[in-house]
Amino acid sequence: MRLCGILTILALGACGASPAPQFFGATRHEVTLDGYDFVVFHKGVDAEVIRLGYLRRAEREPVPALMVQAVKLTTGCTVRGVSLGRERSPALPGDTGEARFRLKC
């Protein structure tokens, strides 16, 4: 019985990036840019982008610009800026793991 529970947890952990609750039902896109993997969730005029994988500090510099590029490429929309209000980015400035953007489509 314990083995079954462990296998279930491992299987769920392998599912990859999950959206924030505000992005449940969003369209999911996956894209690789310059060797970095991203998942973009697009819902209405907002998008959430999640970088996959581990990066050392020295590897993080190009990521914010690549996140914007990933959103533009997958949604076909223009990025207006970071999301505010309920959809705002929860991360600290400089975080390269997740960002949320307001779009103009």
The number of CA neighbours under 13 Å toward the Cβ of 79 is: 22
Question: Does residue 88 lie in a domain region?
Answer: yes
Domain range spanning residue 34? 18-104
* Domain assignment of residue 47, yes or no: yes
Give the pTM: 0.77
- CA distance from start to end of the chain: 50
Give domain status of residue 76, yes or no: yes
What is the total count of domains within the chain? Answer: 1
Residue with the two structure tokens 């076909």:
76
Q: What is the pLDDT of residue 93?
A: 54
Residue type at 70? Answer: A
Among 35, 19, 24, smallest CA distance to 90 is for 19
pLDDT digit string, tens, across residues 1-38: 555 544 444 444 445 789 999 999 999 999 999 999 99
The answer to whether residue 57 is domain-embedded is yes
Res 104 pLDDT > 60:
yes
Does residue 28 lie in a domain region?
Answer: yes
